[in-house]
A and B are shown apart, each in its own frame.
Chain A
Amino acid sequence: MLRACLRGANATARNNFGKTRLTNLQHCRHYTAGETSGGGAAKVVAAGLVTVGGGIGGTILYAKWDNKFRAAVENNVPYSDWLLGLALGPPSPKSGLPIKKQKELAQPPSMMDKQTNVSKAKSEKKVKEAAESPASEMSPVPIQPAQSIEEASAEATHIISAISEVTSVPAPCDTEGAAVKEEYKDCHEHQDTSVTAAVHPDTESPTATEPLKERPVEEVAAILAQQDQEEQDIATSVSASLEESLTSSAKATLQAIGAQEAALQAITRHTLKLKEAMEAEVPPQEKSAQWKDLEAALADRTGAVNDAETALSKANEALDSLKSVIDKSKGLKVSAVRPLVLAAEENLHNMVVDLDKVVTKVHSAESEAKIVSQYSELVNEAKQQFQREVSSLTPEIQANWKGLTGKLSSDDLNALIAHAHRRIDQLNRELAEQRVREQIHIDAALEQQKLEDQKALEKAVSTALQHIKEEARLEQERKLSELREVMEAEMRTQLRRQAAAHTDHVRDVLKVQEQELRVDAEQVLSSKMLEQETRYRQLSQEQLDNFTLDMNTAYARLKGMEEAIDSHVVAEEEARKAHQLWLSVEALNYTLKTANADIPTVPLEGAAQAVRDSCHDSDFALALSSALPEESLHRGVYSEASLRARFNSLRSLARRVALIDESHNSLYQYFLSYLQAALLFEEKQEAPPAQLCSEDLDPFKLLSYASYCLEHGDLELAAKLVNQLRGEARRVVEDWLTEARLTLETRQVVSLLSAYANAVGLGTTQAP
């Protein structure tokens, strides 16, 4: 039936194949016959090519436009990155990261800009300050003319440095002096007083003002003393000169005043006398005496006036010299001299005033005297006239007609009376005339008087003005000097205060420094002390330590010796035990060798028991000895040789049932399996590879590997390989596998035990 089926199948197959061949031929004939079908194919091919090309071109273009798409394409399609690179060039990284980077880059530059701006501002400020400083540098130059201020500041610094009694206080003095100067400067020129501007000129000013440098106390004191001395000398000289000139001028003035007074008196006397002489009815004898007196008085007066004039001139000279001296001393500009100068000026003024008063008195007296003299002259003229008249009338009678009354005749007398009457008429007529012209004369006289009064007034006013001006100036000078004194006093107090502050500050600084130094010194001292102490302690400790160390070492050695002896004992015991164990394990090992071909070994029970007995204290050995499989204990194990022999017989059987497993186990499969075994040739023995791959799981290969392993004594690997068999072959070799496992287990345990025993034995052996 099978054959029939097979035949039928073959027939059908043949038929089918024949048909297809026929159809194929037909198709081929069709292909070879028709030309149009070839053109159709070409069209199809061309259309396909165009589509593909279009697709690729479109992809490339879109990838050029959209980089994400390009990245996706490159990731997914294998050689697209090469193609796209060829077509478009390397991909540009235009992603979001560079924007952030740009932002970051933008931020630090902005910050840096800010910093640069800040620094620029600073530098600009510095530049401005530097610009200011040249401007302020110029300003020290105008200081040079103001030497007085500099001198004053120099004096101030000297005073300060002298008063404070500090060795050298350069900076504050200089800065104070410079600050004073600076204040002056700022008042005059700068409105924006910045500290830096002050600092720069402070640094500049020392270079500009060379004289203002450090000087020690002695030099300063010497210079100060010298200056004082000089001043004093000047003052004394000036005062001496002033006094001299004052005294001389005072003397001269007094003299002049006395002379003027004398002159005044003389003038008044003379005037009185003249008046008396004019008006008084005095007997003729006394008249001549009177006239003589008058002349004497006149002479006196002229002499006194001359004396007065000379004295006045002398006084003026003296006053002028005093004035010049005063001016000169004023020009010296020494402070101590000023009050003297002021006093001298006042004195001068007073003297001048007195002198002027006296001179005015004298002038008024003189003017009176002039009037009186004029009057007397008129009278004399009239007398002279009368005398001439009388003499003309009576030539014989001489001057003194009053004494000649007895000598005169009646004619003469009548003539004289007639003359007298004529004279009286004349005089009456003159009187009338005069009375008429009285007003005019009075007016003229008033005018004259007014003029003279005006002149006198003007003169008086001018002199008064001068005096007042002088007084005002003197007052001003006095006030100025007072003010100056006050200022001086205030300045002195301020300077004293400053000095006091400076001393306080210096004292504080010194105190602080002292504290610091003390602290440092104490620290150093304490550290040194500590060091010494620690060293001492260290040494003593070292000694103690050494002693204890020695003691400890001795004790330890003793202990060590004792322990060594004990351990020797223990070790010997251990060694004995180990020997015992080893012997028992060797016995166990020997029992394994008692297997003959096909006969298992003797049961390992006894030897195992012996091992168990000899290893009471070793858990490892106990565990191992209990790990021996039961079968080996009771029945024994097969040797490797027997297993090998058995395997050889098994091999052929396994080959024969290689195809049989759960699914394939019909008789037909058996037949096929047997056929395969008969037809397949493999290596008797083949070295197994280090790693099995799926091809090596073929049973034939496995069996050849296992044979190789067995031939080379590797039962374990053989068992592993045999373990890979599946199906019926596995069932067939199952028993052999269990036996092999048993043998392997036992051998492993025994080898472990022997290794352990060897190790223990080695461990217990004493090193020489």
Chain B
Amino acid sequence: MSEKELGKKWDRCLADSAIKLGTGLGLGIVFSVLFFKRHTWPISFGSGVGLGMAYANCQNDLRSHYLQKIAASE
């Protein structure tokens, strides 16, 4: 069903963003603790990276249909 696709995409997106955010946060905490003397900036950096990646992935996933179409038309 085509109407379920979007839902699936969102599911993936959310899952992916949760993972990425968590991973980024974790890594940021790790790095902040390990290498950057417990500054907050690696944490925000890491979570930002994670969030950004999740955003990009989500966007890409949502756009994927249109991208393919463009490639096919070429």
Contacts and interface: CB of A to CB of B under 8 A. Distances in A.
A733 interface: yes
A655 to B, nearest CB: 12
Interface string B41-56: 0000000000000010
A732 interface: yes
A736 B62 contact: no
B55 A736 contact: no
Contacts of B55: 667
Contacts of B62: 665, 667, 670
Interface SS of chain B: helix
A281 interface: no
Given A662-B66, A662-B69, A665-B63, A731 B2 contact: yes
A650 B6 CA distance: 11
Nearest to A734: B2
Nearest to A666: B59
Interface in A538-556: none
Given A662-B69, A665-B66, A731-B65, A653 B58 contact: no
Given A667-B55, A667-B58, A667-B59, A735 B66 contact: no
A706 B19 CA distance: 40
Interface string A15-32: 000000000000000000
B2 A732 contact: yes
B3 interface: yes
B6 A653 contact: yes
B2 A733 contact: yes
B72 interface: no
Contacts, number: 35
- Chain B contact-residue range equals 10 to 19
A623 B11 CA distance: 47
Contacts of A653: 3, 6
Which among B3, B55, B59, B70 has the highest number of chain A CB atoms within 10 Å? B3
A650 B65 CA distance: 19
Contacts of A731: 2, 5, 65
Contacts of B66: 662, 665
Given A665-B62, A670-B62, A735 B6 contact: no
A735 B58 contact: no
A592 B58 CA distance: 43
Given A662-B66, A662-B69, A732 B59 contact: no
Interface in A616-669: 649-650, 653, 657, 662, 665-667
A667 B2 CA distance: 20
Given A662-B69, A667-B58, A733 B63 contact: no
Contacts of B34: none
Contacts of B71: none
A728 B5 CA distance: 11
Contact of A735 (B3, B59, B63, B70): B3
A173 to B, nearest CB: 119
Contacts of B63: 665-666
Contacts of B65: 731
Interface in A658-707: 662, 665-667, 670
Contacts of B59: 665-667
Given A667-B55, A667-B58, A670-B62, A732 B69 contact: no
Smallest CB-CB A-B distances: 8 pairs: A735-B2, A734-B2, A667-B59, A662-B66, A665-B63, A732-B3, A735-B1, A650-B3
Interface of B: 1-3, 5-6, 55, 58-59, 62-63, 65-66, 69-70
Interface of A: 649-650, 653, 657, 662, 665-667, 670, 728, 731-736
11 contacts: A657-B6, A665-B59, A665-B63, A666-B63, A667-B55, A667-B59, A728-B6, A731-B5, A734-B2, A736-B2, A736-B3
